[in-house]
Homo-oligomer: A and B are copies of this chain.
Amino acid sequence: KLRGYTQFRYNRLPSFQRNDDLINEQGDRFLGKNNSFGIRRARLIISGDVHERVSVYLQPDFASVIGEQFNVAILRDWYADIFLDAKKEFRLRVGQSKVPFGFENLQSSSNRAAFDRNDALNSAFRDERELGVFFYWAPEEIRQRFADLANSKLKGSGDYGVVGLGVFNGQGANRPERNDNLHAVARFTWPFLFGKQYVEAGVQGYYGRFNAATGTGYSLRGGNDMVDARAAATLVIYPQPIGFVAEYNVGRGPSLGEGDENTLVASRPLHGGYAQLMYRVDNVLGGSLLPYVRGTLFQGGKKAETNAPRYDVRELELGVEWQILKALEVTGAYVLADRTSSRAPYEQEQGHVTRIQVQVNY
């Protein structure tokens, strides 16, 4: 089975407070000056059951970057699900796949309303993915519920189990491992009917040791192989028609410090989260509309970036997703941001950005 989706973006529309230095490399490399059109994601998914007990999911991204070379094909997902029982309630997932940490991390970008994932939980793992072995369990009826919720209208995460456990390299997707030990993750989530509306609540946490990379002028305080651990709570109210999602995580991980320590990487505390309110209106403009507002807070390091810079992010995004067809969605958003730059010397930047995205599903 061959499918996929592509996101085309233009982020340079007029705004009330333009700041050309307002960038966000983790979220979208096409922010900031000297940008015009961008392909944010170009996905092709090959999936199928190769046996009643084995299925595969292979997803390269054709909009990846190596240096100045854009649009190179690099892996996202590449895993096999091995079902341990005939009802497919218990399974092992072997390969590179999403780490079960955070609802928005697990939700497909094709289903997310907001342009980019929130910094707070998405800073946990590069590309949300790691190479390892995961165990998932979900009762048959809940598996069906996950499947019913995972679409662009209800915006579910798909089935990452009611219980998810995993061990994995911990240095990020598509990157060399840097130590002999593994990261471990555990997650519990439960989607249930509350009156006429589906609600999902979950908790998750991980622990491991990470090797940060540093450039000239930056150094490690003590050795590498730093503690990298987080715990998070999730609440999702599915948009039927009003929806709400909130997630928050606390922990510690590689990060530059403040003041005198602003060139020293060490394992430091971090915390942050987001809350999003949305409202689904069907049968308008030939499709459905989903206005949303999302606020994000984050204070902590991004370990996957060189020097593990410390971010202070306060961001408010107001947007509307217009689902014209199943195959075609257009999203517009206005973002009010106060965030640390992704580039040394990591200055704090304020500004507004008006963004538009065309998403094609195939």
Bitwise, A328-362 to B at CB < 8 A (1) or not (0) is 10000000000000000000000000000010111
Inter-chain contacts of A46 with B (CB < 8 A): 2, 44
Query: In whole angstroms, how far apart are the Cα atoms of A6 and B37 in the complex?
Result: 30
- Number of copies of chain A assembled together: 3
- A359 vs B152: C-alpha distance in the bound complex, in angstroms? 34
Contact B2 A71 (CB under 8 A): no
**Interface flag for A73 (CB, 8 Å):** yes
With a 10 A CB-CB cut-off, give which of A42, A170, A360 has the most chain B CB atoms. A360
Residues on B with beta carbons closer than 8 Å to the beta carbon of A67: 66
| Segment from A139-147, A178-186, A214-222, A288-296 that makes contact with B | A178-186
**Partner-contacting stretch, out of A52-60, A106-114, A237-245:** A52-60
Contact present for B66 and A62 (CB under 8 Å): no
Main secondary structure of the interface of A (DSSP, over half): strand
Contact with B along A31-59 (1 / 0, CB 8 A): 00111111100101010101101101010
Closest chain B CB from A213 CB (angstroms): 9
Q: Is the CB of B33 within 8 A of A96?
A: no
* Pair A325/B54 contact, Cβ less than 8 Å: yes
Query: Could you say which of A37, A133, A169, A327 has the most chain B C-beta atoms within 10 Å of its C-beta?
Result: A37
Q: Are B58 and A62 in contact, CB atoms less than 8 angstroms apart?
A: yes
- The one of B33, B42, B358 in contact with A180, judged by C-beta atoms closer than 8 angstroms, is B33
- In the assembled complex, the CB of A4 is this many whole angstroms from the nearest CB of chain B, namely 8
A161 at the binding interface (Cβ < 8 Å): no
Distance between Cα atoms of A95 and B39 in the complex (Å): 7
A84 interfacial by beta-carbon distance below 8 Å? no
Query: Which one of A12, A72, A132 has the greatest number of beta carbons of chain B within 10 Å?
Result: A72
How distant is A33 from chain B, measured CB to nearest CB, in Å? Answer: 6
Interface-located stretch among A75-83, A226-234, A309-317: A75-83
Q: Are B70 and A71 in contact (CB under 8 A)?
A: no
Contact A51-B325, Cβ < 8 Å, known A56-B362, A174-B70: yes
Whether A38 pairs with B131 at a CB distance below 8 angstroms is yes
B68 touches A37 (CB 8 A): no
Q: List 9 A-B contacts (CB under 8 A).
A: A8-B94, A36-B168, A37-B177, A42-B58, A54-B360, A63-B75, A66-B66, A73-B74, A80-B358
Seen from chain A, the residues whose Cβ lies within 8 Å of a Cβ on chain B are 2, 6, 8, 12, 33-39, 42, 44, 46, 48, 50-51, 53-54, 56, 58, 60, 62-63, 66-75, 78, 80, 82, 94-96, 131-133, 168-170, 173-182, 325-328, 358, 360-362
